[in-house]
C-alpha cells in the first residue's frame, strides 16, 4: 500500500495519525511520516483528513 500525503494541502493537524488503527502514520515536526509496511489500506486516514490531503493507493 502507498499512502501519499500532499504536503501543500496538509495542515499537520494529526487527525489521520489519531485514527490510524495500525499506527502506520507518525506526526513529525513539519510532515506526516507513513510506514507502508504497517498500512492495511483501510483508508480511514483519507476519510478523516479535513483538507483532502491523503490518497491511498493499492
Count of positions (residues) in the chain:
58
**Domain limits at 16?**
2-57
Q: What is the reported pLDDT for 23?
A: 96
Distances (CA, A) of 7 to 2, 21, 31, 52: 15, 22, 7, 11
pLDDT 10s digits, 18-30: 999 999 999 998 8
Q: In the predicted model, is pLDDT for residue 58 greater than 80?
A: no
Q: In the predicted model, is pLDDT for residue 47 greater than 70?
A: yes
The C-alpha cell that represents 41 in the structure block: 489500506
Q: What is the reported pLDDT for 8?
A: 94
Number of separate domains in the chain: 1
Domain of residue 13, CATH code:
3.30.70.20
Cell 496538509 belongs to 10
The C-alpha cell that represents 17 in the structure block: 495519525
Amino acid at each position: 500500500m502507498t499512502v501519499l500525503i500532499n504536503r501543500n494541502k496538509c495542515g499537520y493537524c494529526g487527525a489521520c495519525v489519531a485514527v490510524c488503527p495500525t499506527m502506520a502514520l507518525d506526526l513529525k515536526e513539519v510532515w506526516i511520516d507513513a510506514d507502508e509496511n504497517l498500512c492495511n489500506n483501510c483508508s480511514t486516514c483519507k476519510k478523516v483528513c479535513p483538507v483532502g490531503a491523503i490518497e491511498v493507493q493499492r
